[in-house]
A and B are shown apart, each in its own frame.
Chain A
Amino acid sequence: MIQDRSWAGAGRWLLSAVVALAAGLLLAETLVAQAYVPPDYGADFPVIGSRAAVWIVAQVHLMFAAFVLGVPMFAVIAEAIALFGGEDRYDRLAKEFTRLLLVAYSATALLGGLFVFLLTTLYPALWSYLSEVFRISMWMYAGIFFAESATLYMYYYGWDQWKKGRAKLGHWGLGLLLNVWGTIALLIANSWLTFMMSPPGDLTPDTSPATVQFWSAFANATWMPINVHRLIANAVFGGAIVAAYAAYRFLKAKSDEERAHYDWMGYVGNMIAIGVFLVLPFAGYYLGREIYEFNQQMGVTMMGGFMSWLWIIQAFLIGVLFLAGNYYLWIGLGRIPGGERFAPYTKWMLLVLVVGVIVWATPHTMIADRAELAAMGGTFHPFLQPLGVMSAKNTAVNLMILTTFLSFLLYRRANKNPTVSWARTGTLSQGIVLLVCALVVLFYGIAGYFVPAIVRIGFSVYQVLAVLFTIIAVLVLDILIARGAESRGDIRWGRMPPRSQYALFVLVVTFTWLMGLMGFARSGIRQHWHVYEIVQDTSAYAATPALGYAAQIISASVVIFFLMLAFVFWIGGMIAKPALVPAAADAAAAEPVPGGSPGRSGSGADRGGGLEPGLEPLPGT
């Protein structure tokens, strides 16, 4: 185990930061707390009531659906790296995950069936209304499920059959097809729930659902933004689950080979999760804008009405994600020869992240009703109001993104000794670009206070563009600088302290919980409407519950999901023994270059047993 001082130091920093954050939130709570008596939710479904029953089943179904959508994305990318880059271990990785999909698939379908059953029995009127509008697509959806299962079976069971040449290419095509089916299923299901949120404007409560134009209901105002946001989120989710699975295996590993393999797998999963995660905020703002565009009142309810606290919790969760992801990367530097050079920077990066989270989590407009206003002391937060406005938040999140990107850069550079003649200048220019970008972001953030709202919104676009440009430019420079670089030694896969792995669990749990929370946001903004302003919820559960209650339901869903997932992984382990341990030994035996490795960094002795230890971050991150 690595016991470098500075890493333990980073851990302590992180711990105190998290404690400080929690304490701050609790303090804020006592300042604004008010008496609240949770409503008594009655029961037509035993004990928990109809709404909670439908809610939990729908949410757990959605989590599984996200899993079976996210993991195939991951699998085809991994297989492609193996296929086109010749790195065999990625192929084994892809297969290991496809095996888990088999069982997860049945779980998804089962939960889907249960969900429909509950809807038809507990909310029959709503169900009839929706099936009247969407009959065609509901049948298509069921059909897709069959096609998808068939493809999945062929994909998995054909793995060893179609191994070489054209056949392998065809096999990869099956993986692509799997993703196509999954995406179509997502598009269809999203049309139902977005229709409930933003039905076409020409609909009135008296329109007969049979006469609703299918396409206008299908491609409604929030459909595309939700598609984009969810698709991205599901890729992150897939990566996070892969990482957690690997972390578990790592902790349980018996041999160094195994540890090395699962360390690497966890690294790849985390890389995908965090890398894709960075674009999620942009997709989120796009979605938010479309909601406002559709109906101002809905937007206001969402951001400033009874849900305003939800966004503070969201910021808290995202803060935890940023911290956990970066923490894992920083500890990971310890397994890279040369990584210790960068250790001193991490505490400054931590500082930026923590300040960023705090700014982001600062309440902005908090309006629910007069009583709450009085309790809060005005529309704006009493002390923190200047930090709470949008420009501060955008600035914070952009700086957090830049910081996380910097973590990646350090990671990439750690074991390289650039040899190109302009390496110094190159690195310097990278630094300058990053610095200038941070200044640009800060400048617009501060200038945002002095301009009207409409101009300010334009500023946030400049900030985003600056960050995107910087990420691309700096990455390109980095790739050029790294050409022909000498290695300071290979990554010592497997030499990670166990606490790093727990960060991956925090990451996946937080992300899953975030999904549940946002699902509540999406359906909560409809308030007492099943279909916004068209079909009213006249059941006993029409009032939209407060966050405390919602959190309990979300937590219940997350717990159920993880218990089921553990079961899936356990079964998956029984279908076939993880191919990796023996395969690793085989691979070592079959390696033509004794002790060496065909790693693309092209140097260094193979210390990780049969597993090739080259550092090669995934393309596209």
Chain B
Amino acid sequence: MGAVDLKVGGVVFGTILVFTLVANAIPQVQSDVPELIAFGAEVTAEELVAAGEGLFEGAGGCIACHAESAGARGPNLVTDYQGEGTIGQRCGDRIPGLDCKEYLYQSLTLPVDHLVDDYPPIMPALDRTMNPQQVWAVVAFLQSLGGEVTVTGADIPTEDAAGDAGGGLAAAGIPGVAGSDPVEIVNQECALCHLFAGGGIELGPPLDGLGARMTADEIRISILEPGAGVSEGYEELLGAMPATFGDRFTATQLESVVSYLSGLE
């Protein structure tokens, strides 16, 4: 290694360092996974609106086109569009025969069917990326902007496994996980190593009453990254739980198991 090598190395590493620093100096924005939500029939309007607002302003990506500034790609939904008011005010008058709720649901899932005048058909169909519960939450949020929220638990289909986003994997004949009923899944996949509902094998900690010990987030992490933290008394078994559930579960399956287990008091 001569002086030349050192200088060349210096220039190379220095340049790389500058780029790394510059990229770390700018605002750091991460793109999150849309939160999966599971509602029962007794869901309240407030819960729906809150969930819908989160999607609208965050992972749903709506702001990219429906910004409030002039020149946005899509019509303003939040304040006013051409004197017709907010989306919650105008949704009922858009298409004769469609009430607000139906109009909104259709314009989200079949956007090309009811184009707002002078806009190109660029709005993505929402049901490709969201499950029906998320779509209905967004509808509720839009209604809440100046209108009355009429979405209820009755609109939301309970059996939604079919529209589930991770389904491509199951169709691939991969050792995915069958079924949508959390009890069934836990019996099949987890009872091999965990005591559960009077059955199962005692290798890891029992799953009964899990909700009393862990929050939903902690459970989700334990399933996705079993190595991340160890349960007390099971230190030697760290690594025994497979880390592949994240890959094998569909998103809906995962969320239903998590919410089921966290509900076990």
Contacts and interface: CB of A to CB of B under 8 A. Distances in A.
B63 interface: yes
A116 interface: no
Given A205-B164, A536-B251, A551-B19, A368 B29 contact: yes
Interface string B68-89: 0100110000000000000000
B127 to A, nearest CB: 10
B179 to A, nearest CB: 16
A132 B172 contact: yes
A580 interface: no
B128 A123 contact: no
Interface string B98-140: 0000000000000000000000001110001100000000000
A528 B69 CA distance: 28
Interface residues of B, number: 67
Contacts of A305: 31, 61, 64
Contact of A297 (B64, B225, B251): B64
Contact of B11 (A379, A506, A540, A546): A506
Contact of B16 (A252, A367, A537, A558): A558
Nearest to B226: A44
Contact of A528 (B19, B31, B57, B73): B31
A309 B31 contact: no
B80 to A, nearest CB: 17
A547 B70 CA distance: 29
Interface in A81-133: 123-126, 128-129, 132
Contacts of A589: none
B29 A546 contact: yes
A524 B31 contact: yes
Contacts of A125: 169, 172, 174, 176, 247-248
B216 to A, nearest CB: 15
Interface stretch (B20-28, B42-50, B141-149, B192-200): B20-28
B167 interface: yes
B8 interface: yes
A129 B64 contact: no
Interface string A562-587: 10000000000000000000000000
A161 interface: no
A332 to B, nearest CB: 18
Contacts of A559: 13, 16
Contacts of B154: none
Contact of A538 (B34, B221, B247): B247
Given A373-B63, A379-B67, A543 B20 contact: no
B65 interface: yes
B165 A205 contact: yes
B97 interface: no
B27 A502 contact: no
A317 B27 contact: no
A543 B58 CA distance: 13
B224 A540 contact: yes
A323 to B, nearest CB: 12
Interface of B: 2, 4, 7-8, 11-13, 15-20, 22-34, 57-58, 61, 63-65, 67, 69, 72-73, 122-124, 128-129, 162, 164-169, 171-174, 176, 221, 224-225, 227-228, 243-244, 246-251, 254
Given A124-B174, A543-B32, A545-B30, 10 more contacts: A125-B176, A126-B247, A205-B167, A297-B124, A367-B64, A379-B69, A509-B12, A509-B15, A533-B128, A538-B250
5 shortest A-B CB distances, which residue pairs?
A: A551-B23, A546-B28, A205-B167, A296-B122, A36-B28
22 contacts: A36-B28, A39-B30, A125-B247, A205-B166, A252-B2, A300-B61, A300-B65, A301-B64, A317-B19, A528-B32, A528-B33, A533-B165, A536-B250, A538-B166, A538-B246, A544-B30, A546-B29, A547-B23, A547-B24, A548-B24, A551-B19, A559-B16
